[in-house]
Amino acid sequence: MTTDRIPAHSPRRVAITGIGLVTPLGNDVRSTWSALERVQSGAGPITHFDASGFSTRIAAEVKNFDDDAITAPRRFLKFANRSHRFALAAAEEAMRDAGIAPTDEDAERWGCAVGTGMMGVDYADLAEVQRHSAPEGEIDAAKLLDDVSANDPLAFCRSQSTAGVALLTRRFGIRGYATSVHTACASGGQAIGTALKLIRRGAVDRVLTGGFDSMISPVGLAGFCLLSAVSTDNDAPQQASRPFDATRNGFVLGEGAGFLVLEEWEAAKRRGAHIYGELAGDGNSLSSYRITDSPPDGDGPIQSMRAALADAGANPADVDYINAHGTSTGMNDRSETAAIRAVFGADAKRVFVSSTKSMMGHLIAAAGAVEVAICALAIERGEMPVNANYRVPDPDCDLNLVLGEPRRQRVRMTISNSFGFGGSNSCVVLRHPDLVEGAGAR
């Protein structure tokens, strides 16, 4: 099957009509995409806290973020931690971009599906409690989380796994199906896949969906250092994330948020919405191989990619670009390469591949959502971002990488891969709007 014509009996189609981003490259879509075009890195020395005692002292932080960018009433912010603020700002941009929002008449036909991180309590909350509850210089990490809930009810509220989705649904008056997903690095992608299914089956007509996370804290960084998952190239932070390069030695921890507004296709067309593309397919699997690694033969990622293509009614020959999970860790880059080879066969030498983590770092639960948004922008703009910092070829990662400068050509279909710690695998497929029957050229 090709993607030139889509059978009329296909399920309800899903249009992407709004995008919002807060990333280490910029606090909105325009600035983030501009940095990708310039092949600009968002990595640098950690400024959130004193990281001098850690083996890794670099990260890709969101820069110059101002709460004034959030138009929500100020009362919302007292319940919001750092990542929630990113989520509110990115979601507001996506809603503005879509030019639509829930009303009293249709709020129950709106849904919300978000990927959330594991660090529900800000380090600032922990530090504040520590200053009040422990003698100067004494740190009792085991007591900190309990102390937060005992001493600061607002910090307790911010720590709940549902806090982000609650803030978003309240902020926009969404009263339909709402859920949060936490599957580590696959969270954002799986949340968007959930949103796709909600519209397809008619549970809702529109969904605000995406992911948000911020683990750049002593607690978050310590865990990744203990797992030997993050790069220790502290003297060259902008070159530290180098997916598929033979000298790679770990990812650069990032933070941020990415949100989409999704709509039932025909409803979006009727109101004259700008459609970035079709959210066409979703595939998931669970490898359960190791906590930090995907299987060497690509098993698990293979299943998610094949399932997503089948869900989209597509073949590997239809795909022009893969936004790879591409973490810049030794095992996972080899595993993803093996999976792409297995799924794409001879087309693996044709399809272009890049990991935008090479520039913005690994946004953990937000990564998949931001990267799906980048795929939508790649389709709209006919431009594929670079796989930055690639210098030394790895024969085990012999993919058709976008190198040097962005690749400019028509992009018919894209894939976004997200493979999480613990083995959760997500693959999302997007299709150019011209290829959907009746969509017409934009």
Residue entry with tokens 């030794």? 330
pLDDT tens figures, 58-88: 999 999 999 998 999 988 888 889 999 999 9
* Per-residue model confidence (pLDDT) at position 114: 98
For residues 14-31, average pLDDT = 98
H or E segment at 133?
Answer: helix 123-133
Is the pLDDT confidence value at 153 over 50?
A: yes
- Going by pLDDT thresholds of 50, 70 and 90, the confidence category of residue 321 is very high
CB contact burial 180-206 (16+ within 10 A = b; e otherwise): bbbbbbbbbbbbbbbbbebbbeeebbb
7 class by beta-carbon count within 10 Å (0-12 exposed, 13-18 middle, 19+ buried): exposed
- Going by pLDDT thresholds of 50, 70 and 90, the confidence category of residue 399 is very high
Relative orientation angle of helices 123-133 and 141-151, to the nearest 10 degrees: 90
Mean pLDDT value across the chain: 90
* Per-residue model confidence (pLDDT) at position 8: 39
In this structure, of 81-90, 91-100, 110-119, 134-143, the range with the lowest mean pLDDT score is 134-143
List 206's β-bridge partners, or say none. 110, 263
Kindly tell me the sign of the dihedral angle through the C-alpha atoms of 130, 149, 90, 222. Answer: positive
Tokens representing 18 are: 């709004």
Helix (H, G, I), strand (E, B) or coil at 197: helix
* Per-residue model confidence (pLDDT) at position 4: 41
As a residue count, the chain comes to 442
240 class by beta-carbon count within 10 Å (0-12 exposed, 13-18 middle, 19+ buried): buried
Distance CA 165, CA 334 (A): 35
CA atoms within 13 A on the CB side of 45: 7
For residues 208-233, average pLDDT = 94
In this structure, of 71-85, 244-258, 313-327, 422-436, the range with the lowest mean pLDDT score is 71-85
Is the pLDDT confidence value at 130 over 90?
A: no
* Per-residue model confidence (pLDDT) at position 442: 35
Is the pLDDT confidence value at 209 over 90?
A: yes
What's the Rg (C-alpha) of the chain? 21
Is the pLDDT confidence value at 144 over 70?
A: no
Global confidence as pTM: 0.91
pLDDT > 70 in the chain, percent: 86
* Per-residue model confidence (pLDDT) at position 246: 98
Tokens representing 335 are: 């595993």
List 22's β-bridge partners, or say none. 257
CB contact burial 141-161 (16+ within 10 A = b; e otherwise): eeebbebbeeebeebbbbbee
In this structure, of 42-56, 115-129, 320-334, the range with the lowest mean pLDDT score is 115-129
* Per-residue model confidence (pLDDT) at position 76: 83
Helix (H, G, I), strand (E, B) or coil at 276: coil
Tokens representing 307 are: 């399932």
* Per-residue model confidence (pLDDT) at position 421: 80
Which residues have a catalytic role annotated? 185, 325, 362
Is the pLDDT confidence value at 150 over 60?
A: no
For residues 335-346, average pLDDT = 97
- Going by pLDDT thresholds of 50, 70 and 90, the confidence category of residue 5 is very low
Tokens representing 381 are: 């703009």
Distance CA 418, CA 357 (A): 11
* Per-residue model confidence (pLDDT) at position 268: 98
* Per-residue model confidence (pLDDT) at position 15: 98
pLDDT > 90 in the chain, percent: 79
Residue pair 230/327 in contact by the 8 Å Cβ criterion: no
Is the pLDDT confidence value at 119 over 80?
A: no
Structural domains of the chain sorted by starting position, each given as residue range(s) with its CATH number in brackets: 14-120+160-429 (3.40.47.10)
Is the pLDDT confidence value at 240 over 70?
A: yes
H or E segment at 267?
Answer: helix 265-270
Residue pair 400/316 in contact by the 8 Å Cβ criterion: no
Distance CA 219, CA 200 (A): 40
* Per-residue model confidence (pLDDT) at position 151: 55
H or E segment at 45?
Answer: strand 44-45
Question: In terms of pLDDT, which residue wins out, 64 or 287?
Answer: 64
Is the pLDDT confidence value at 7 over 50?
A: no
Question: In terms of pLDDT, which residue wins out, 50 or 148?
Answer: 50
Distance CA 167, CA 39 (A): 34
Apex 222 CA angle, 221 and 224, nearest 5: 65
